[in-house]
Structure 1
Amino acid sequence: MTVEETASRFPRTVPLFAALNMDTCCGGADSIRKAAADNGHDLETVLEKLSAAIA
């Protein structure tokens, strides 16, 4: 799933993506895996935070 798709389906994730410098607009076409790696974030940590934001 891309960052943009996630943000669209789960709007509560938008502030988290912003805090992690993961673009939800222009760069939102990247997968969460790629966006996390490009921004120096551990994928598992990002996924845990996303799960918490969605819950």
Structure 2
Amino acid sequence: MGEKMIITKDMIINDVIKKYPKTITIFSKFKVDSCCGGGASIEKTAGMSGVDIDSLLQALNKAAV
């Protein structure tokens, strides 16, 4: 029923981008710092940017397929 998430909130942004290069456009679209904040987890960086983590993860996982 529920889709399996490949990318999770505890993953490090730089690791996600290395493994799934298409996700960099998603981080940019959501205005999540994938440069200076790239060494932190998606949850931490998205939280600091006030981004809805569920929407971000959904978009990232769609791009990663």
Rg: which structure is higher? 2
**TM-score higher than 0.5 here?**
yes
Identity of aligned residues (%): 33
TM-score, length basis structure 2: 0.75
In the TM superposition, structure 1's runs of 4+ consecutive aligned residues that sit over 3 Å from their partners are: none
CA RMSD after TM alignment: 1.1
Unaligned 5+ runs, structure 1: none
Which structure's residues are more often helix, by fraction? Answer: 1
Unaligned 5+ runs, structure 2: 1-10
TM-score, length basis structure 1: 0.86
Aligned pairs (5 A) from 1:1-55: 1-55=11-65
